[in-house]
Amino acid sequence: MTVAKEPSALNFECETGNYHTFCPISCVAWLYQKIEDSFFLVIGTKTCGYFLQNAMGVMIFAEPRYAMAELEEGDISAQLNDYEELKRLCEQIKRDRNPSVIVWIGTCTTEIIKTDLEGLAPKLEADLGIPIVVARANGLDYAFTQGEDTVLAAMANRCPEKAPVSETEKGERNAIQKLMNFGKKKEDITQDESEYVDHPPLVLFGSLPDPVVTQLTLELKKQGVKVSGWLPAKRFTELPVLEEGYYVAGVNPFLSRTATTLMRRRKCKLIGAPFPIGPDGTRAWVEKICSVFGITPKGLDEREAQIWAGVEDYVKLIRGKSVFLMGDNLLEISMARFLIRCGMTVHEIGIPYMDKRYQAAELALLEKTCQEMGSPLPTIVEKPDNYNQVQRIYELKPDLVITGMAHANPLEARGINTKWSVEFTFAQIHGFGNVRDVLELVTRPLRRNNNLKDLGWDKLVREEAQV
């Protein structure tokens, strides 16, 4: 009788299944709020409009800083002048909202009918006097989060090439320092500056809420690392300077196109670090940045231990349980690594798209975490076939399935605990300070079922599901 051995290295498979994720134009939902002086114009059909209306609620009627340019039969038949129509819309946007930048989001339809958005934008930009950034965030991408990747890659090309000379320009450009210095005296600011180590400029990329931006910037400041800017910034006019030789580091696993643009077009040096999700990931992210700049990190052991001790009440709920990730938002590798560190067993990691170069450090940390925790190495399935995945879920019977919204209710009806993966996209999950929020989301279905059992309602729920 032969005993099956646990794999000694991560096992990658590809099932070439369909991409069961949202359309990437949903990135507008968080980017228009992050870049406060922007306006997003999505150019597509009524279907795109219906999707945005459902994805973002009725706010589309409240005139926020995004809109739909709906293509009609006349446009698709090329009977109308694209330039004149877009000029009319952008003139109205300028008159009504006066943004610092207009971002055109191209959809599948503009790809199919070959609308030359990149050719039209420079001419219209010159006529209107407003920067127009073109991003092809269409359904041909693998995951909905890659819409942000496309937009940030386009914006990377608009970052200034030279550092400002005057003090006024410096103040306008380094938005994060301006935020951190708010309300401080000049002597305090000078004292803060003296705490930094002399190192090459560092720019971080990835759209995060302002509180999380401040948290991560302060974590690096504790180690003497100064963040020169973030892409994107709160305002388009405050985009960071990107000179050749600047260092860049990402905070999200789905930004491989942006990383490539920063390296190839802007000649920046990418710091390949794990992503700051969970105490373990945040520590590894800070350590890698410090190592590149020759800095010995201080106090990270105590910081990580303190965070783990503070969330023990959540961790004990999932320790020893199993989880299955179906694949939706490209956060799966980071989430799996964090959950293994919490003591869970990960059966399988489904992921719509796997860039092994950009996620190399995260994959290495996943493997190391499995070894340290004595957990079997999970199989990573790229472009998973959801039918096959569901069969494996029935066979493995995991305690929790993290899945896209399409499969949550059918799995729940069969008595399987689920959590929407999209919730991790919109929640604050980065850094040491947001670990409790991540675990609140992960443990919610388990806590809910425990409460149902205590009340004796679990049998009634199962009977109704069977009916």
Residue set of the binding site for [4Fe-4S] cluster: 23, 48, 108
Closest CA to 154 of 340, 24, 54, 59: 24
Give the annotated binding-site residues: 23, 48, 108
**Residue 325 parent element (H or E):** strand 322-325
Rounded distance, CA 177 to CA 189, Å? 10
Rounded distance, CA 215 to CA 176, Å? 11
Spatial CB neighbours of 305, under 8 Å, sequence gap ≥ 6: none
Cα separations in angstroms, 385 against 106, 125, 253, 392: 28, 44, 22, 11
Closest CA to 158 of 122, 210, 202: 122
Closest CA to 31 of 71, 69, 64, 70: 64
Tokens of 94: 């300028």
Q: DSSP character for 299? A: S
**Residue 13 parent element (H or E):** strand 11-14
Phi/psi of residue 342, nearest 5 degrees: -75, -10
Cα separations in angstroms, 443 against 264, 317, 419, 440: 41, 7, 9, 6
* 3-class state of residue 95 by DSSP: helix
Rounded distance, CA 251 to CA 264, Å? 19
Cα separations in angstroms, 175 against 30, 172, 227, 317, 360: 19, 6, 10, 41, 31
Rounded distance, CA 90 to CA 102, Å? 8
Rounded distance, CA 321 to CA 332, Å? 17
Phi/psi of residue 392, nearest 5 degrees: -70, -35
* 3-class state of residue 233 by DSSP: coil
Tokens of 111: 């790809």
253 close to 210: Cβ distance less than 8 angstroms: no
211 close to 428: Cβ distance less than 8 angstroms: yes
Tokens of 426: 């919109």
Residue whose structure tokens are 């092994």: 356
Closest CA to 341 of 324, 319, 363, 358: 319
